[in-house]
Structure 1
Amino acid sequence: MSNLTTFRVWRGDAEGGRFTTYEVEVNEGEVVLDIVHRLQATQAPDLAVRWNCKAGKCGSCSAEINGRPRLMCMTRMSTLPPGESVTLTPMRTFPVIRDLVTDVSFNYAKAREVPAFVPPPGLAPGEYRMAQEDVARSQEFRKCIECFLCQDVCHVVRDHEENKPVYAGPRFLMRVAELDMHPLDAADDTGLDRSRSAQDDHGLGYCNITRCCTDVCPEHITITENALIPLKERAADRKYDPLVWLGSKISRRRPD
């Protein structure tokens, strides 16, 4: 069973653009990316779109569908309001390259600013041991597919371009949180306080936990409650709690 649906697709580049309207066939069970491919095959061969796996695992086909950041390959047409036109636009937070393709290099720059995992001293790869509870806690964050929908929807950078130099965004604050709670990360031994760094270097204080990042995550990662709020609590403790501050000044006793 098929029907004709109106699609309003933003066409343009960094210099500007406009919406172009298409009437396109939609079949039962199809996703938005199927329709975009049909448009390319039948009406708009020069339509630029980024995609790869079409299975919700590469994060490439991020766009805004009816104003909501989503993966086109995971948005079924049957979940959209029936009988209404569908509006496709590129992610608003990032500069447009052409049509639905945006320049997401901001995110890779922020990724490079997060200090990597620090291996525990005296242990070689293959000798690491962790409790299953600790594995499960950090494993949630490793489900991230780098779609950057959480970055796109975060109003701290979506509505305030001036914040981009000082704010990493939820995806990379989540990475800091993952490392900060990792029981084998030896960053403290190098003088790196990840919680303090999140506040001072990655703009944690700009986040006001509106939960919009969690709401759009296609992997259902609880970014706000499981990563950002605990990270904020640890950062506040280490900066303002006098007992925590004192404890950080006392050298750990090491076995002889």
Structure 2
Amino acid sequence: MGTKRHFRVWRGDDTGGSLEDFQVEVNEGEVVLDVIHRLQATQTPDLAVRWNCKAGKCGSCSMEINGKPRLGCMTRMSTFSDTETVTVTPLRTFPVIRDLVTNVNFNYQKARELPAFAPPKGVEPGEYRMQQVDVERSQEFRKCIECYLCQNVCHVVRDHEENKRAFSGPRFFIRAAELDMHPLDARTDRKELAQAEQGLGYCNITKCCTEVCPEHIKITDNAIIPMKERVVDRRYDPVTWLGRKIFRRDQLDEPAMAHSSSPSTEAADTSSHWHQQGPQPQAPAVGADGKLPVAELYLDRPAASSPFGDDQEFPLPPDQVRYNHPH
């Protein structure tokens, strides 16, 4: 048998809520998410919590435990003293849907605004070649599980609603840095776009995002600061400064986005006005009978016995096959 522990869990929705007290059994080796599941099973079956893998790799169970943003599945109960009250609340930065579940659509919108990897022209998938040093340089950033704890603690996102439209946050700064370091990415304007469109200049490198990262990514030291340095190098380079004395300022400030005919520029042109409304999901095309068309493939070899009878011939006669090529 385990011991009884005092838990305080926030209950409510977007209209309001409060902390409720529970006495719940805790066994050796359990994590906070285990206790939340026990609460659901024994005392509060309607308690809402988001979770998936329970292995610290999906980022779903983000919550605040005793005021610190953590993953519920990676926070062991042994880290708290036997008499300590464990308070569990939803992420404070994002709107509450219900109980411990928050609306993180802000992050998905910012992900859509970030230009994707642009493969180089003339190189087909499967022909990409990279040096191991280039792989290792950005490997750290690919460990991100998108728990959004870094977004939650970023004061620009949390405390300044007026800046949200022009600020992507640390999770997407490391994505921009990863692509900027990628030797096969055809875009050459990642740092300029990070400054102009993602709000890189708003970050004052307090390192709070690095402190809460469950994957121990050095977000500030290895991504944000180097990106800031590359922006400064370009803006304050003496050759560029001299060029401003000769050419118009706009020709130098936005060269990759407006004054180049390289393949990377073509990609850059498609990403201007990032903050416009993106395409809306489209309903699937259905036939007059209200059903989706079924695509059948022509089999080039005999198959197993048909569940509809043994008189079915394989391969199927072409005149009896209806094949709809996916568009």
Counterpart residue identity of residue 100, structure 1: L
What residue is the counterpart of 1:91 in the other structure? 91
What residue is the counterpart of 1:254 in the other structure? none
Q: TM-score, normalised by structure 2?
A: 0.73
Counterpart residue identity of residue 19, structure 1: L
CA contact (8 A) 2:166 2:197 kept: yes
SS at match of 1:88: strand
CA contact (8 A) 2:50 2:61 kept: yes
CA contact (8 A) 1:237 1:244 kept: no
User: Is it true that 1:69 corresponds to 2:69 in the alignment?
Assistant: yes
What residue is the counterpart of 1:177 in the other structure? 177
Give the 3 Å change call, closer, same or farther, for CA 225–244 of structure 1 in structure 2.
farther
Query: What displacement does 1:131 show?
Result: 1.0
1:214 pairs, out of 210, 215, 230, with 210
CA contact (8 A) 1:8 1:19 kept: yes
User: Is it true that 1:150 corresponds to 2:146 in the alignment?
Assistant: no
Distance 2:27 2:98 in 1: 27
CA contact (8 A) 1:93 1:153 kept: yes
Distance 2:70 2:59 in 1: 10
SS at match of 1:165: helix
Distance 2:76 2:194 in 1: 37
Query: What displacement does 1:240 show?
Result: 2.0
Counterpart residue identity of residue 119, structure 1: P
Q: Deviations over 1:21-74 (max 9, x none)?
A: 000011100000000000000111110000011001111000000000000000
Higher relative contact order (CA 8 A, sep 6+): 1
More strand by share: 1
What residue is the counterpart of 1:47 in the other structure? 47
Distance 1:71 1:113 in 2: 27
Which runs of 4 or more aligned residues in structure 1 lie more than 3 Å from their structure 2 counterparts after TM superposition?
A: none
Query: What displacement does 1:243 show?
Result: 2.8
CA contact (8 A) 1:5 1:23 kept: yes
What residue is the counterpart of 1:57 in the other structure? 57
Distance 1:31 1:54 in 2: 10
What CA RMSD, in Å, does the superposition of the two structures yield over aligned residues? 1.7
What residue is the counterpart of 2:15 in the other structure? 15
Query: What displacement does 1:125 show?
Result: 1.0
Question: Larger C-alpha radius of gyration, 1 or 2?
Answer: 2
Query: What displacement does 1:235 show?
Result: 1.0
CA contact (8 A) 1:196 1:239 kept: no
User: Is it true that 1:203 corresponds to 2:186 in the alignment?
Assistant: no
1:228 pairs, out of 224, 229, 236, with 224
Give the 3 Å change call, closer, same or farther, for CA 82–235 of structure 1 in structure 2.
farther
What residue is the counterpart of 1:162 in the other structure? 162
Distance 2:239 2:213 in 1: 37
Counterpart residue identity of residue 230, structure 2: R
SS at match of 1:17: strand
Identity of aligned residues (%): 72
Distance 1:244 1:28 in 2: 63
Distance 1:33 1:142 in 2: 25
SS at match of 1:117: coil
Distance 1:244 1:71 in 2: 46
Give the 3 Å change call, closer, same or farther, for CA 140–96 of structure 1 in structure 2.
same
Query: What displacement does 1:244 show?
Result: 5.5
Query: What displacement does 1:80 show?
Result: 2.1
Query: What displacement does 1:114 show?
Result: 0.5
Q: TM-score, normalised by structure 1?
A: 0.93
User: How many pairs were matched up?
Assistant: 247
Distance 2:94 2:237 in 1: 38
